[in-house]
Structures are given as C-alpha cells and as structure tokens.
A and B are shown apart, each in its own frame.
Chain A
Amino acid sequence: MAEVLVVDDSKMMRDMVVACLRAEPGLSFTHASSGLEAIERLSLKPFDLVVLDLNMPDIGGVEVVEFVRSQDTLRSLPIVIVTTRGDEESRARVLAAGANRFMTKPFTPEGILGEVRGLLGAKGAP
C-alpha cells in the first residue's frame, strides 16, 4: 500500500485528485488543506508520494518543497506539483527546489495518473 499526501486548500481539488488516482490500485490517501499541515503530516508519518498545490494561504508549495528537500529523511520523497495556469514563473523555481513533476490545471485523469504511476514505479528502482 503506497501512502499519498494530497495537498490543496480547495477541498474540491483534493477530491478531484483522489478521484483521478483511485484508478491505481493500492494507494491510500491523506488530505492536507495547507502547506503547514502538509509539513506537519510529513513529520508525523512516512509517505510515498506528495501531490502538491502551489498557491495556498500561510506558506505556498514552493516553500513546502524547499523545506522537504532540506530534510534528510524526506530528500527523495517524490513530489508532483499540480497548479494553475499563471504559475509558469514558479515552475523553474519549484523544479529547482526539487519537485519531480509539474502539472498545470486543468489536468486530465490520465495525465495525473501517468505521472503518479511513473514516480511510484521508479521509486524502487536503483
């Protein structure tokens, strides 16, 4: 069972992400409604993958990625950024900070599923 943390301040968006990823068997989902909550959850329990929004109240996704990558225990945690058009300038920053993928809303169910499968599959590989 792979644990996925879905982070977005919009509940509808989190529900959409989960609905799309349900097609992949063996995933279990945890929601976080803010960047701070995401960091807290990551500190309390291990996860296999994070799907992360960029624009949130308190701290944004870029800061979450920067924090995660600064932690020894979380350095290799796969992160998919799912964000809204207009965040293009954040793309370079967030990829430089260490996010693995960058997807723009609207995404398709197949699109996000493909990214997640790819990252989870590659995780065990040397």
Chain B
Amino acid sequence: MSRPVNLADFLPPYLAEVEELLGLAHTQLLTLETAARGGAPQPRAVRELFRVLHTIKGLSAMVDVEPVVALTHLMEASVRAADRAGGKLPPASIEPLLQGLKAVEVRVRALGAGKPVPPAPSALLDALEGLEGAERRAAPRAAAPAEVQFDLEPALASKLSASEREQLTQGVQGGRRALRVDFAPSPQRSAAGLTINTVRERVSQVAEIVKVVPLSRPGGAPGSGLVFALLVLSSGPDAALAAAVEVAPAEVRLVAQPPPPPEEDAALASGALAGDLSADPSSDLAGVLPEAPLDEEVAPQRHGIVRVETARLDEAMERLAALVVTRSRLQRAAAALTASGANTRELVQILQENARQLRDLRAAIVRVRMVKVGEVLERLPLIVRGLRRSTGKQVALQLELGAAELDKAVGDRLFPAIVHLVRNAVDHALEPPEERRRAGKPEEGLLRIVCRERSNSQLEVQVSDDGRGVDAAAVARRAGVPVPQSDEELLELLCRPGLSTREEVTTTSGRGMGMDIVKRIAVDQLGGELRLQTEAGVGTTFTLRVPLTISIVDAFVFESGQQRYAVPVATVEELVEVDAARLVRGPGGAEARGEVQILERRGQAVPLLRLATVLGQPAGEGGGQKALVVRQRGEPVAFAVDRMLGQQEIVIRPLEDVLVKVRGVSGATDLGDGRPTLVLDLIALGGGAAAEAQRRERVS
C-alpha cells in the first residue's frame, strides 16, 4: 500500500515555480508598460501574462493559499479583458497589477518562511476588481479592419484568434513577412531529438512564432498523418527558418508580406527605419533604444528546462567530492599493489579512464549550476521603475546583458551589489530634471548596464550613469582627508566602511551609501575587482569583474600562531584531542621545521606537527590541544592548532598572483568580517617533515 498523497509535500516546488512565474509576470507587465507609452498593443505579452497568472492561481489553489488565489483571480480577469481588447492594457492598470504581484510575492515568501499568510488587502482587491470593468469599457471592440490579406487555407485561418490575427497584421505592417512552415513529427525524428518542442525552440531563435496549428493529413499511414503548421513573422532568410525545422527552403511558404513603401520613401526605407529596429535585435541602434521591451528575443525560453533547487546541486557536488576522495584511495591501493609486484596495468588504465570521467562529470555539474546573467538581473527594470517613482527622476535604463552564464551562487551574491550601484546612481548620481536642464543635459538621465564575458572565467559588469560625477573634493572634505588624486584613491575612500554613514557626503558627492558593501561582495567574497571612473558633470562608471564560478565548501575554522585559517572539512580525516601527557617525542629531536611528536591514535603512531611551527610562526596561546588529522601519501599526519573556532561554509577564491602562490595555501576566503583568511591545504603542507618523521619512526 503506497503512502497517501499529501499535497502539502509540494510546497518546495510550489515556491520555486511561483517565484519563476512572478519573474515572468513582472517582465511581461513592464513590457506592457513600455508598450503602453508608445500606444502599441502587445497581444503576446498580454496572453503570456494571463497564462502566468492563471498558472499561479491553479498552483496556489492546490496548496491551499487562498489569499493568492483571490489576488490572481482578479488580476487574471483584468488581463483577460485586455486580451479581448486586442492586447491593449490601459496604462492605469499597470500600477494595481504590479501591486498585485507584490502582494502575491509577500504572501508566497511568508508561506516559504513558515509564517501565516495574511489575507489579501481589501483595498487592493477592490482596485483590481475595478480594473476589469474599466478595461471592458475601454476595449475598442471593433478593431480597425486588417489591411493585410493572408494567404491561408480555411482550416488554418479558422484557428486564428482575433489577437493572433492582430499580431500577424502588426508584424506585417511593421515590415516583416508572415510565413508558414510545416513540421511532421515521426518516431525517427523524435528519437533523433527533433520534436515539436525542440522545433519551436529553434524556430523562436530565428523568427517570432504567432501560432502553431496541428493538422491531420488524410491518406497517410495510420498515425503518421500529423503535421504542425507553424505561422511565424520573420525578417530573416527563408533558409534559416527551413534549417530550424529541417525541411527544404522551398517548403517555407509566404502567407503575407509587407506592402511596398510609397515611392518617395523608398530611398529612406533602405536605412534603419523604426520598423527594422524592432525586427532586428542585433542592430546597434536597437541596443540603445531606451528600455527596449523585453519581448521574444529577451524573454527566457523555458521549454525543456528543469527547475532544480540550488541545495540539490550542492548535494550533487558533495557526492562528487566524496567520489573523488574514494578514487584517490583507490589510486593509493593500486599503487600499493603495484609496489608489491602485482600486475596492475589494466587496473591503472581503468583508474586513468575513471579520472577523466570524474573530471567530465565535475564539468557537467558545474555547467548545470550556470545561469544566464540575463536571468540573474531580470528584476533590474522593476527596481529602476520603483526608483523612478520614489525619486521623481526620469531615467532611461539600457541593458546589454549578453549571453554570459555564471554560477548560480555567484549570481546570488552579485545581484545585491549591482542593485546597490543602480540605487546609488538613481538616488544620488543622476540630477533632478531641472538641474540637468540647467547643465544642458536631456531631462531624462541614462543608466546603462553592460555585461560581457572577458574570458572563459571572468564576467565584467559595468554600471554607468550620465549624472553629476563624484565630487572628490567634497568626499575628502567630509571624510577629513586630503583630496584623492586618482580614481583608485577615490574609490578606496568611498569604500571606507564609516564613510557611507555620513548622509551629507552622499548627497553632495553624487555617490556613497554602502560602497563598502559592494566592495565586500565583489572583491572579498567573490575574489573579483571593483573599479571606478568618474568625471565631474559627465558621469560615473563602476566596473565589476568577478569569476564566473566559485567553489563553496564546508570548512573548519581555527586559530594558529595568532592567525586565523580555514581548512576544507573534506580533506580532514579526523579532529582529535591532544593529550600532552600521552605524547611521545619523535625520533631525531628538534627539526628545522619543528619538533615532531608522536600521537597515539587507536594503537597507531601518528606524527604530530605544530601548525604554527610548520608555518614559521610563533605558537599562540591555547597550547595545541586540538589536532586535525589528514592523510599524506596514505599515511595519517596530525597538525596541532591553537584553538578551533568552528565549522562553516566558505567560498574559496584562488590566489592567482604567483607571488602569493605558496605550497600548502589553496586560496583565501572571507569569513564575513572583511578580513581575508587563508585556506590551507594540509595535505600539501609540511608533507616532507611528516614523511621524514614517519620514516624514522619505522626505522626506530
């Protein structure tokens, strides 16, 4: 008898899925807000927003979160009305809908934190309820008759909804061609990975899909008569579309094409007209359109994607680490066999193969952890929107996020730092409209965020504004120090922890508030760099460079020789108490690297080294009562430390500088207080001394 189903068990996937859906809803809503300013209907965004809200409602009903069901039900009704109005969401609806999403988010977070979920605010419910009626009344029921003729067979034409027809018309009037291409699924194609899902994904890279209609073709073999007709809008060559569906270019059929431009405009039309801009996202001009709507090209394609909680990925990584440890034991055992004269040739070959497979597996797991930088920063437009409202400033946001991918853990740490820079730029750096006018600048300030992959290991993020620039003299005056002579010195001053608390500095200098936090995240936690370029009256650019991946491990933290160190737990075999009375002085007396003593552990003699001595430091207080046992070349070695401080998760950043690269030091970490702490590799450290002691012990 199987265990009865408890739908409450689905809470973790619920939280993950709703979070993702809320992100999508925000994106669509901001697209609609941008479109509303330009007056263009956005039937696709409206339909997608409706679907997302509807899904949140259904999921919330299943896990019994009634306040969220109530909120999404009303939001959905208002969006449905907009869909019926041909994809036009009135600008006045945006704010209540955003508030609705916020209210949903607050409730879902409460649920995730195990707190009671508050009922939906009745004022908000009333406002949302009012929207539907307003949208119905505003709906221009009779849309202007389409001037575009579509060459479609009746079976297909009858499947198009009004908003899909509108979408096609708009696309064609905007200069794109409406095309049809058919995909016939088959068991062979499915086995080769060519399915309607992969075809849709591939087609959406080269064209905008308006509708896919399944059609059955009579006369074929049983079960083989199915054909999917894809109706798309495209400004690219037919060949690209044909290749995406794996058919001959001749099978791409024209459904409608844009009317030829009037003769006097023909010369102009060859240039970058507005119509071309929306059609070609790669054109340079498209990139500088203020806050380009996050449409087809930018919205993440979520088909064929599996959501995984980060904790599960961490778990996979841990399992892999265990496998690596077992492998090295296996390797040692094989080496011992070889040493004893056994024929281990095949075994050694298998081990080599195994090492390669483990490396591949590690690379695969690391890849799984990667997320697109666009996904990490998808909420920035929403944040800027909020800042626009709270400051009353006009800000155009330009995002050039590119396709770089980074470790989810890096993304999670990086996001708050970027939000900080964005907030500072809008709050302090960009001048109010009248000040900008006086300075001869456009009233609308510009905030630009550019991400690019600098190498296969580093991401560069630039946050630029065209604001007033940092006033170095003002910052220095308030800090009571000489005026910095370079941008580097100025940045150092701005990142002083105490500085940002001085309110006046921040408002007069154009920057401030929490720059120490940004530096802490970028430099100390992620092992990256932070740079500043600023010019009075012209603007400021902050550049962050961070590694694309980081390794997070569980570590012991301890003190030795008045210094603090960390050691990955996985490398430590045992943590032992050192009983001074039971120590045996090792043979050979005092050594250059310290006296070796022998510790008895379960009947085995284990050389004990004082870590401080190995590191060439004076021993601290605490007397070395604790020791970490590791295995060096298969033999246990104990390192006595002065004081154990605990166990915690640390982010290891590599020491790339060759001058700092030292045997036995695998990197550095920040334990949260801003002080760098070295991460030791005890297995590599003092290996010689311990091996020597071991040898002598055996001899004696």
Identify which of A37, A55, A106, A109 contacts B51 (C-beta below 8 A). Answer: A55
A84-B57 in contact (CB<8A):
yes
Which residues of chain A from 48 to 70 have any CB-CB distance to chain B below 8 Å in the complex?
53, 55-59, 63, 67, 70
CB distance from B285 to the nearest CB of A (A): 30
Knowing A11-B13, A43-B226 are in contact, say whether A70-B216 is a contact too (CB < 8 A): yes
B13-A12 in contact (CB<8A):
yes
Identify which of B4, B51, B224 contacts A57 (C-beta below 8 A). Answer: B51
A84-B2 in contact (CB<8A):
no
CB distance from A34 to the nearest CB of B (A): 7
Considering the chains assembled together, what is the distance between the CA atoms of A71 and B2 in angstroms? 37
Comparing B190-198, B273-281, B540-548, B688-696, the segment that makes contact with chain A is B190-198
Identify which of A56, A58, A73 contacts B200 (C-beta below 8 A). Answer: A58
A20-B5 in contact (CB<8A):
yes
Q: How many residues of A are counted as interface, with CB atoms below 8 angstroms from the partner's CB atoms?
A: 38
B48-A57 in contact (CB<8A):
yes
Within 8 Å of chain B (Cβ to Cβ): is A121? no
Chain A residue at smallest Cβ distance from B213: A59
* Interface residues as binary, A8-39 with B (CB distance below 8 Å gives 1, 0 otherwise): 01111101100110110000000001101101
CB distance from A79 to the nearest CB of B (A): 15
B4-A11 in contact (CB<8A):
no
* CB neighbours of B69 from chain A (8 A): 85
Considering the chains assembled together, what is the distance between the CA atoms of A40 and B58 in angstroms? 25
Considering the chains assembled together, what is the distance between the CA atoms of A43 and B73 in angstroms? 35
Identify which of B13, B17, B212 contacts A58 (C-beta below 8 A). Answer: B212
* CB neighbours of A71 from chain B (8 A): 216
A105-B196 in contact (CB<8A):
no
A36-B226 in contact (CB<8A):
no
Count of A-B contacts judged by CB separation below 8 Å:
114
B58-A84 in contact (CB<8A):
yes
* CB neighbours of B212 from chain A (8 A): 36, 58-59
CB distance from A33 to the nearest CB of B (A): 7
Within 8 Å of chain A (Cβ to Cβ): is B143? no
* CB neighbours of A15 from chain B (8 A): 10, 13
B195-A37 in contact (CB<8A):
yes
A86-B76 in contact (CB<8A):
yes
* CB neighbours of B213 from chain A (8 A): 59
A10-B185 in contact (CB<8A):
no
A36-B196 in contact (CB<8A):
yes
A55-B62 in contact (CB<8A):
no
Which residues of chain B from 649 to 697 have any CB-CB distance to chain A below 8 Å in the complex?
none
Identify which of A19, A34, A44, A67 contacts B197 (C-beta below 8 A). Answer: A34
Within 8 Å of chain A (Cβ to Cβ): is B313? no
> Which of A22, A55, A86, A107 counts the most B-chain CB atoms under 10 A from its CB?
A86
How many chain B residues sit at the interface, stated as a range, is 35 or more
A85-B61 in contact (CB<8A):
yes
Within 8 Å of chain A (Cβ to Cβ): is B458? no
Considering the chains assembled together, what is the distance between the CA atoms of A95 and B327 in angstroms? 60
Which residues of chain B from 267 to 313 have any CB-CB distance to chain A below 8 Å in the complex?
303, 306-307
Within 8 Å of chain A (Cβ to Cβ): is B55? yes
Considering the chains assembled together, what is the distance between the CA atoms of A108 and B362 in angstroms? 42
* CB neighbours of A33 from chain B (8 A): 197, 303
* CB neighbours of A34 from chain B (8 A): 196-197, 303
* Interface residues as binary, B1-38 with A (CB distance below 8 Å gives 1, 0 otherwise): 01011010110011001000000000000000000000
* CB neighbours of B17 from chain A (8 A): 10-12
CB distance from A57 to the nearest CB of B (A): 6
* CB neighbours of A63 from chain B (8 A): 159, 214
Considering the chains assembled together, what is the distance between the CA atoms of A39 and B212 in angstroms? 12
A39-B226 in contact (CB<8A):
yes
Which residues of chain B from 36 to 84 have any CB-CB distance to chain A below 8 Å in the complex?
48, 51, 54-55, 57-59, 61-62, 64, 69, 73, 76-77
A16-B223 in contact (CB<8A):
no
Identify which of A22, A36, A55, A107 contacts B54 (C-beta below 8 A). Answer: A55
* CB neighbours of A58 from chain B (8 A): 200, 212
B197-A105 in contact (CB<8A):
no
> Which of A10, A34, A107, A109 counts the most B-chain CB atoms under 10 A from its CB?
A10
Considering the chains assembled together, what is the distance between the CA atoms of A58 and B204 in angstroms? 12
B306-A11 in contact (CB<8A):
yes
Considering the chains assembled together, what is the distance between the CA atoms of A44 and B186 in angstroms? 7
Identify which of B48, B57, B307 contacts A85 (C-beta below 8 A). Answer: B57
Identify which of A43, A57, A73, A107 contacts B185 (C-beta below 8 A). Answer: A43
B185-A86 in contact (CB<8A):
no
* CB neighbours of A36 from chain B (8 A): 196-197, 200, 212, 214, 228
Within 8 Å of chain A (Cβ to Cβ): is B187? yes
Considering the chains assembled together, what is the distance between the CA atoms of A108 and B167 in angstroms? 39
Within 8 Å of chain A (Cβ to Cβ): is B222? yes
Considering the chains assembled together, what is the distance between the CA atoms of A22 and B186 in angstroms? 30
A10-B226 in contact (CB<8A):
no
Considering the chains assembled together, what is the distance between the CA atoms of A43 and B195 in angstroms? 12
- 27 CB-based A-B contacts, threshold 8 Å: A9-B51, A11-B17, A11-B306, A11-B307, A12-B10, A16-B62, A19-B5, A19-B9, A22-B2, A23-B4, A34-B303, A36-B197, A36-B214, A39-B228, A40-B190, A43-B226, A53-B58, A55-B51, A55-B54, A56-B51, A59-B214, A67-B216, A84-B54, A85-B57, A85-B69, A85-B73, A105-B62
Q: Which residues of A contact B (CB under 8 A)?
A: 9-13, 15-16, 19-20, 22-23, 33-34, 36-37, 39-40, 43-44, 53, 55-59, 63, 67, 70-71, 73, 83-86, 105-107, 109
Q: A55-B51, A63-B159 are in contact. List 14 more A-B contacts (CB 8 A).
A: A10-B59, A11-B307, A16-B7, A16-B10, A23-B2, A23-B5, A33-B197, A37-B195, A57-B48, A58-B200, A67-B214, A83-B58, A86-B76, A109-B5
